[in-house]
Copies of this chain bind each other. A is one copy, B any other.
């Protein structure tokens, strides 16, 4: 989409150089064909390093942009970003794409719906009630149990097992709230990438990224009723026990274990080989592997000690 067209739709006066824009992206990730935004003055220092073609910013921050980035000056950049996100949302379900390629030995059972333009490997089993959207890639030997939904553009590796009712690639929980308290949807134009040898339980939800990808790395094990928010990255061989909730942009290293009903706040990272005990609430980055628990989070042995102190307080 042409930059001039984007500006016109958003009501931004723009008579500068024309550029072809492929999509939206975060300031630090945006390429030369992408538009970005900055709302929070706290991150203004990131402006100078962006590669974005254009950036939605307030007037006061516009000067900090490098010469190759065009400032698109608006009062509320995040609200305008939300509006712009709709321009790049793909069609939910296209019927005029090439036939989906299906590998040898793959069985697609009656009652499964496989949209066009996808690629399914060899020896897969797609069970009844499964929905696979457009432009999905699935590797060899992967099994989708009944009533699994895979939204368009997602990627699933080989040797994966996804149990019944699980949803891969639904929209992340993203919106900009106006001063009047109304919410404007931020279209989630990224996807989910699941690497090889991942098993996911039943009725779990893994949201697609707002930009780029939510990533589940190889060998991960996810139990039932787990929530993985948009843009999370789950490291190799990590284990998420039932009812875990990962807020958006959580980053787990390899072999992290999250106990039942544990959770993270958003935008936090957890070091490799960390265990979060059941019910633990991760409220800050975990920079060093170990065993943690409690809410707010602490070393698990401190949590146990705290329970001892509370038991004594109770008797006092």
Query: A residues near B, CB below 8 A?
Result: 92-93, 109-111, 113, 125, 127-129, 131, 143, 145-147, 149, 151, 161, 163-165, 167, 170-171, 173, 175, 177, 181-183, 185, 199, 201-205, 207, 219, 221, 223-225, 227, 229, 236-237, 239, 241-243, 245, 247, 254-255, 260-261, 263, 265, 278-279, 281, 295-296, 302, 305-307, 309-310, 313-314, 316
Report the Cα distance A68→B2, complex, angstroms: 72
Contacts of A305 in B (CB 8 A): 314
Give Cα A151–Cα B202 distance, bound, in whole angstroms: 11
Q: Would B260 and A247 count as touching, CB distance under 8 A?
A: yes
A243 to B225 alpha-carbon distance, docked (Å) = 9
What is the minimal beta-carbon distance from A144 to any residue of chain B, in angstroms? 11
Q: In the complex the two chains form, is A237's CB within 8 Å of B183's CB?
A: yes
Across-interface contacts of A147 in B (CB, < 8 A): 129, 131, 147, 149, 165, 167
Q: B171–A167 contact, CB under 8 A?
A: no
Which residues of B have CB within 8 Å of A109?
93, 113
Contact A224 B113 (CB under 8 A): no
* In the complex, the 5 A-B pairs of residues with the closest C-beta atoms, listed nearest first: A131-B146, A149-B164, A113-B128, A170-B202, A167-B202
Please indicate the chain B residues that have their CB under 8 angstroms from the CB of A173 in the complex.
201, 221, 223-224, 241-242
Closest residue of chain B to A114 (Cβ to Cβ) is B128
The answer to whether B237 touches A182, judged by C-beta atoms less than 8 angstroms apart, is yes
Complex CA gap A125/B133 in Å reads: 14
Are B203 and A229 interface neighbours, CB within 8 A?
Answer: no
User: Which residues of the other chain, B, contact A171 by a CB distance below 8 angstroms?
Assistant: 161, 163, 199, 201
Q: Hey, which chain B residues are within 8 Å of A163, CB to CB? A: 167, 170-171
Distance in angstroms between the alpha carbons of A255 and B177 in the assembled complex: 10
Q: How far is the CA of A204 from the CA of B146 in the complex (A)?
A: 15
Collect the chain B residues with CB atoms within 8 Å of residue A221's CB.
Answer: 173, 175, 183
| Cβ A302 vs Cβ B278 within 8 A | no
Question: A183 and B261 in contact (CB under 8 A), knowing A113-B146, A129-B147, A149-B164?
Answer: no
Q: Which residue of B lies closest to A237 (CB)?
A: B181
* Residues in B whose Cβ lies below 8 Å from that of A167: 147, 163-165, 202-203, 224
Please tell me which one of the listed residues B143, B239, B314 contacts residue A306 in the complex, with CB atoms under 8 A apart.
B314
Q: List B contacts of A245 (CB < 8 A).
A: 225, 242-243, 260-261
Whether the Cβ atoms of A255 and B181 lie closer than 8 Å is yes
Q: Pick the contact of A243 from B128, B151, B227 — CB < 8 Å?
A: B227
What B residues does A225 contact at CB under 8 A?
203, 205, 225, 227, 245
Greatest chain B CB density within 10 A among A161, A185, A225 is at A225
Across-interface contacts of A254 in B (CB, < 8 A)? 181
In the bound complex, residues from chain B placing their C-beta under 8 Å from that of A181 are 236-237, 254-255
Q: Identify which of B111, B202, B260, B302 contacts A263 (C-beta below 8 A).
A: B260
When chains A and B are docked, how far (Å) is the Cα of A260 from the Cα of B282? 12
**B contact residues around A203 at 8 Å (CB):** 165, 167, 203-205, 225
